Structure 1
Amino acid sequence: DLRCLVGVGPRDAELMLIGEAPGRREIQPDVRRPFAGPAGQYLDKILENIGLDRDEIYITNVICCKPPHNDDPTPSQISACKPFLDAQITTVKPKKIMALGGIALKALTGRSGIAKHRGKLFTLTYDNIPPIEVTASFHPAYVRRSPGYYPVLFTDLLRFKGGNLKNIETHYQPIEAMTTFKTMIRELLASPEVSFDIETERLDPWTGAKIICIGLSNKPGRAWCIPLEQPWGLWSEKELADIYRLLEAVLSNPRTRVIAFFSLFDLKWLWTRNILARCDV
C-alpha cells in the first residue's frame, strides 16, 4: 500500500517510540496515525497505567507504508524508508528512543534478537544533534498475543519514562500451569497488599469479548501474569473455573488491601465472570 504515513507527536518531544510498520487501521483516511489499531490500543492502556501521556511522545514506524498482507518489512523497504526515519529523528531530537520489536531494534542498532537485547542501553548518533539513548522492548502486538510478557513491556516503558527501578529486584513470572498458579495464590493470600490489572479484547464486557490476562503483584518488583480466555485453550473449562474461584478468594480477602489500576473497569469485567472482587484503592 503506497499511502505513506509518518509519525505524530510534538516536534520537541523528549521521548520517541518507534514501531515496525503501519497496519490496515493506521492508513485509513480518517485515522492516519501510527499505533491506532488493536496493538496501539493495548499500548495506550499501558502508557495510561504508567502515567505517560501519549500526546507528549512522538510515535512513528521504521517504514512509512503498510507492507502487503501485513508481512514483516523487508530489508529493501527498511532501506528505502531510512531517510524518512532519520529525518524524523533529527527534526524532533528526542533524548530517548524505544524500539518496539525486533524490526525497529535492527533498524536503529543493527542488532538482532529482541529477547536478547531488550532493556539494554544503546546510543544513536547523528551530526549536529546530541547523542540519543536507545532501548528496546517487545512489540505491543506480540505482547497482546503473549500476555505473559506484559510485565516486561510495562517495566521497560516505565524505565523509559524515567521510573526509578534501579534498586528494585524484579521477578516477573508468567503462569502457565495450575501448580505454579496455586503456589502464587498461597503467597497472595498471605500478603497484606495485592494489586491487579486486567487486559481485555474490548472495553464493553457484555459484547462476548474475552479477558486476555490478569496481572497481580504483592510488592514492588514482584508480579505474575496469568493468561485467561485464550484461543489456544491453555486451560480446560474446569481449570479456568478453579482459577476464577481462587482469584476471587484473593481479591475479596478481608485481610488484604486490594489495589486496582482502573477499579471501575476491572471490577465490572470481573463481576461478569462471577468474581466478586473488592477494591480499596
Structure 2
Amino acid sequence: MRFDELAIKKSPFVFIKLLVFIEFLFALTPFMVAALINARRAYEDTALARTVSYDLLSAIALTTILVLVLIAVFITWYVPTYLVSPDRVLLRRGGLFSDRKLADTQQIASMHVRQGWLARRLNYGSLELVEQDGTRGVLRNIPSPTETAEQIEALIDRTLELPAASPPLRTPQELIAAGEGQFVEFKSSLMWDYRQRRANKDLYEPVMKNVVGFLNTRGGTVLIGVDDEGAVLGLEPDYGVMKKNDKDGFENVFNMAFGSMIGLEFSRYVE
C-alpha cells in the first residue's frame, strides 16, 4: 500500500446491527420450529433419543449453526476493504473474489453522502462516487463518510478537469430558466412537507446532500423554494412552520441543519 492510498473498512456498527438481528432470529427459531412441526415427539421416537436428550441435541445444533453464521457474518464484514488511490477506487473482496473497480479517482465529478437517521448519529453511511460520464460507484457503510469524501477530494487533481472555470454567476431568474444541471439543484422546501402538509425535519437531508455535493466539486447553487419543474413555490411555507417567520429565521434553521449534518467549520464555503 502506498503512502497516499486510503484503506477503508466497513463501520463496526454494521456488524453490531447484524449481530442483534441474528441473535433475535435464533431466539425465535426454536419456537418457530415447534410451531411448524412436533420435532420433539419425532425425535423421541428415534433410537438416538435414548442416548442424547432432545434439549441437549437442540442446544448443540443451534449453537453450532449460530457459531457458523457468526463466523460467516464476521468474514463478510471484516474482509472487504475499500482502497482509494490517486488512480482509482477499488473494492478488495479477498479470498476467491477479484478486486472490483468502483471509480477512476481523477474522473470523479461529485460525491454524495447517504445516511439514515441512525447512521447520522453513529457517524457512518455510504458514499456515492459519480464520474464525469455519469458512472456511479458506492462505498457502503463506511465510518465518517463526509471525512472520507474530503480525503478523496484531496487526491483529485482538479487542474486536469475541463473546463477549469467555476460555474458562471447568474441571477436566480436565469438559473431557474436554465433548469437543473451540473451546477444547479432545485429543492421545493427546507422543512415544509408538501405531501404531508406539515413540517418535516427529514427534508433537511436531501438539501444538505446537494450542498455537500457542490462542496466536493467546483461549487454550485441550491435554490430552495423551486420545484423540479422550475416552478417557483417561494419560502412562505417554510416561514410558516418556523419560530421566526422571516429570512433570519430561515437562515437560523438552515445554519442549524448545516452545522449538525455537515459541520459549521465548512460554513465559510457557503454563501
TM-score normalised to structure 1 length? 0.27
Higher helix content, 1 or 2: 2
User: Which has the larger Rg?
Assistant: 2
